[in-house]
């Protein structure tokens, strides 16, 4: 008889690993099926109420003027040698200044950083990127091209292509997860890390398995595992879901902050109404379950985590737990009455907090 606590023999260990994997994927696809059924019921309800409006989809052919506002910076492109992909970004501030690289979330694009492009260009070369598959950046067709390793490599290669060896890295939502992973994998490239409304990835994966409420809030991760159907659901009623994400009372911007203007909303609709424009962004999620959990966890550079307390998608408890993975100065600020879209919702406060953190760290280094 094996001693209690003794290591399992290899065959038994393989069976245990296989059983856990089977259970994990059964959970993933079962919840995927539940989310699909809910989406199907919503579709039927919409057809029953407004059959003529349900399948209306208008492709915006001309960008609104705000996307070409010169105060936001210059539209630029860079082609990465290894992947061959062409990335679009908007850059503000003089070349040669320290680089501040901004990574957006879903369903967003470079424009979500408009307030920060204007604010930080006085002291930084501020670059707001369209991530792989988004906006004017190239979108590989196969979902395997959106694995986490590819997304991390994109940021490393873009940094080098811009002529920099390090940067202040800022990410929101999905861009926040990429920012955490870049900081973990390439710590020498990140002088300071700032993340908005996304916990350390290890916190997220552990928390979601223990808290059904967060599992429900993250249901779209599972729904997005399906082919084509999530993209189709976004197009219904001329992108009603997209509009609702940014404007509804439950999830939208502006409870006690800035509201999106009609032109801002048109900017989002212009980008995501283009044929095929949603597949690349959703493909980011379609490989996530094969990439987590992480093998390496620690973040060693000064880190600022900003959080909107009224986030409809991420529970605020994860923000505080994130502290244990940062082995350097860590500052957490939770803003009450702020939504998930924090840097657009309360830009003045967010910008002030970022300035304070950056100057505080500069002073700390001198001392």
Instruction: Look up 311 and say whether it is catalytic.
Output: no
The answer to whether 340 is a known catalytic residue is yes
Q: Active site residue: 31, 284, 340, 345, which one?
A: 340
Catalytic residue among 154, 157, 173, 311: 173
* CB of 110 closer than 8 Å to CB of 128: yes
173 classed as catalytic: yes
Catalytic residue positions, numbered: 173, 285, 340
């Amino acid at each position: 008889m094996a001693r209690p606590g003794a290591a399992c023999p290899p065959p038994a260990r393989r069976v245990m690993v296989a059983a856990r994997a089977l259970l994990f994927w059964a959970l993933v696809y079962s919840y995927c099926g539940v989310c699909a059924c809910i989406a199907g019921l919503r579709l039927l309800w919409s057809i029953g109420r407004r059959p003529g409006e349900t399948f209306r989809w208008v492709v915006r052919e001309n960008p609104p003027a705000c996307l070409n506002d010169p105060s936001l910076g210059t539209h630029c492109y860079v082609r990465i040698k290894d992947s061959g992909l062409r990335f679009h970004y908007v850059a503000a501030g003089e070349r040669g200044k320290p680089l501040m690289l901004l990574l957006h979330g879903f369903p967003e694009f470079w424009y979500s950083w408009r307030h920060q492009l204007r604010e930080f260009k006085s002291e930084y070369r501020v670059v707001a990127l369209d991530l792989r598959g988004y906006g004017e950046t190239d979108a590989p067709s196969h979902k395997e091209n959106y694995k986490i390793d590819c997304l991390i490599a994109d940021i490393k290669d873009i940094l080098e292509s811009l002529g920099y060896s390090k940067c202040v890295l800022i990410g929101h939502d999905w861009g926040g997860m990429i920012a955490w992973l870049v900081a973990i994998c390439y710590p020498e490239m990140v002088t300071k890390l700032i993340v908005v409304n996304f916990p350390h990835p290890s916190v997220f994966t552990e928390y979601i398995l223990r808290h059904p409420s967060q599992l429900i809030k993250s249901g779209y991760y599972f729904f997005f595992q399906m082919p084509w159907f999530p993209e189709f659901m976004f197009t219904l009623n001329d992108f009603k879901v997209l509009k609702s994400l940014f404007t509804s009372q439950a999830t939208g911007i502006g409870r006690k902050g800035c509201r999106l203007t009609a032109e801002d909303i048109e900017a989002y609709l212009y980008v995501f109404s283009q044929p095929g424009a949603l597949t690349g962004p959703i493909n980011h999620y379609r490989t996530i379950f094969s990439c987590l959990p992480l093998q390496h966890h620690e973040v060693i550079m000064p880190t600022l985590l900003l959080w909107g307390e009224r986030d409809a998608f991420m529970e605020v408890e994860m923000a505080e737990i994130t502290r244990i993975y940062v082995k350097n100065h860590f500052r957490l600020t939770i803003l009450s009455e702020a939504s998930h879209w924090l840097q657009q919702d309360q830009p003045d406060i967010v910008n002030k907090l970022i300035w304070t953190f950056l100057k505080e760290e500069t002073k700390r280094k001198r001392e």
